[in-house]
Structures are given as structure tokens and as C-alpha cells.
Amino acid sequence: MFGLGTLARVTRELRQDLTAAQERDPAARDLGRLEILLTYGGVQALLVHRIAHAAHDTGVPVLPHALAYVGRITTGVEIHPAAQIGDALFIDHGAGVVIGETAEIGDNVTLYQGVTLGGTGFARGKRHPTVDDDVVIGSGAKLLGPIHVGANAKIGANSVVIHDVPPKSTVVGNPGHPVRIEGVRPVGPDADWAHLPDPVADAIRALSARVSELEHQLAEVTGKEPVKPAEVRPLRPRGGDPTGG
């Protein structure tokens, strides 16, 4: 079943996962590797997955899913045994992460808590995301379907991403859309997704103008002072502070 080769591979992967935690979690820099292994749910979930995945590859029945189940109840991270995960993945804080059966993750990827790499339907076959090297996926982000996330992309916390993500881009929001590509804001018509028109505020503003017009006409008829028109502010403030980082 498991040969020495498998053991050596899992040990090498564990070493890289521990290094990833030390390098990418500022709070872990002063911690020893054993301390991280004993206390970091994300690292433990990965170790369990590395063993479950090796068992899955060798065709052992029951064990891969049993291990994945144990991983889920002890760490809150659910990784399907068939999911393909590269070297040095770091799952910070662990809890609530779900990685589906046909998901593929490259090297040096970072996931925060609550990330889902999920499917969108009941069809079989490739139905989960492919994430290239050096991608960072913020807490609570949902990446759904067989989409492709290019290398070095950043996905904002709580984004819902259902389309491919270009390499070296920053994607935020629901639906997820690029706000930076290679460090530059996307340009062109319809490219400024971050500052969409606000149709609800526009409709209320139009109604307010009509009410105001009627009040003026009424004031003329009755001879009373017209009421000052009410201010209508956009429901979504433009600009503002970044929400993550």
C-alpha cells in the first residue's frame, strides 16, 4: 500500500507546509515547527489530506474518505481526497475551508478561513476551480465552478468568483471582478466595476424631483411656501477605505 517513497513524499510535503506557515503567518514566525504542527488546524488538515490523497491514488477503499472525515471534524477543513494540491499550501486559521473533488491547487498558494473551492452543479467531471501558483484567496471567498485562477492573483475577502481570473490581478466583490491587473486599474467602457451606477438611488432621486415639482405647483395654487426638496444620497458611497489586506 504505502511504500517508503510515499512516506518520503508526505514528509517532504509536510516540511514545506510548515515552512509556508512560518513564512506567511506573521504570528508564527517565532513558533517552532512542532508547535505549529500541534496547534495549526490548517497544517494538520493538509497533513491528513496528503496521506488521504496518497491512499486515494493507490486505490485503497474507505480509508481516504475516512481520513478526510477525521480531518474535517478535527480541523473544520474539508478536503476531498482526490483534490490535487501542490507544494507549500498555507491554510491560515483553517476553519470553514472546503476544497472539492476536482479542485487543483498549484504551489505556494495561501487560503484564509472560510474559503470554498466548490462546484456549481450535479454534473460529474471537472467542476471545481484550478488555482495556479502564488495565489492568495481572502477569507470567506467562494470560487465556484471549473474556473481558472491565474498565477499571482489575489482574491478579496468575501468575493464570489464564477469567472476566470487573469494572472497578477486583484479580484473582489460579488460577482468577483478585476479591480487591478498587473497593478493597474482596468480601463475602458464598463471596466470600472468597483464604481457601478446605483439604479435604486437614481430611481429615488427621479421620484423626489417629481414630488418636489408637484409641491411647487401645489404651493402656487394654495399660495403657501414650497417645501425644501429632500436630499437623496447614493446608497453606495463611492471610494472609501479598502476592506481587507
- Nearest approach in angstroms of CB 165 to ligand COA is 11
Closest to ligand COA by CB, 18 or 181: 181
Interface with ligand COA, residue 154, by CB under 6 A? yes
From candidates 74, 120, 217, 243, binder to ligand COA by CB under 6 A: 243
> Which residue has its beta carbon closest to ligand COA?
244
- Nearest approach in angstroms of CB 162 to ligand COA is 16
Interface with ligand COA, residue 170, by CB under 6 A? yes
> What angle (nearest 5°) sits at the alpha carbon of residue 54, between those of residues 11 and 133?
70
CA separation for the pair 51, 102 (Å, rounded)? 17
Interface with ligand COA, residue 158, by CB under 6 A? yes
Interface with ligand COA, residue 138, by CB under 6 A? yes
| DSSP codes, 199-227 | HHHHHHHHHHHHHHHHHHHHHHHHTPPPP
Residue pointed to by grid coordinates 507544494: 87
Closest to ligand COA by CB, 102 or 113: 113
Interface with ligand COA, residue 245, by CB under 6 A? yes
> What angle (nearest 5°) sits at the alpha carbon of residue 187, between those of residues 181 and 192?
90
Interface with ligand COA, residue 116, by CB under 6 A? no
For residue 21, what is its C-alpha cell? 506557515
End-to-end CA, the chain: 44
